[in-house]
Amino acid sequence: MNYTKEQIIAYCNEFSKNTLMETLKIEYIDAGEDFLTAKMPVNPSVHQPMGLLHGGASAALAESVGSAASHFFINAKEQEVRGIEISANHLKSIREGVVFGTAKIIHKGKSLHLWEIKITDEAGNLISLCKLTNIVLEKKKTE
């Protein structure tokens, strides 16, 4: 990576504007050589009918942070990233507060990136464990 922590966080938060990430109030807060972390508030806007964090909101957080992280391992002028598979094991429920999604690279290939995303609460309890596979594609040339 040829970016500072501050540049990565600023870039991720900027490209999240007017997207699902902004709707869910996902904010990127930390980055390093092999990880990216974002946070998301847990409130009624991300609840399922029983008043708990919706598994789909957790999956959206996981895919958002894992996909964003892959961008820092590609040549963005010539390549783009697409999520092709995500799995999530929801281990603990939460009704309010904040959750943190941290994506760590498991495999960084030329065409595939595999990420493990741990979603934790403010006390560090594991809420969900997710796995995301991204494909790296060559951008189509426009004539």
Active site residue 96: no
- Taking the C-alpha atoms of residue 27 and residue 44, their distance in angstroms, rounded to an integer, is 18
Length of the chain: 143
d(CA 31, CA 105): 12
Angle at CA of residue 8, ends 102 and 80, nearest 5°: 85
Q: Which of 6, 22, 33, 63 is catalytic?
A: 63
Q: CB burial class (10 A; 0-12, 13-18, 19+) of residue 98?
A: middle
- Report the phi/psi class of residue 127: left, alpha or beta, with left for phi > 0 and alpha for psi in -120 to 50: alpha
Q: Which residues are annotated as catalytic?
A: 63
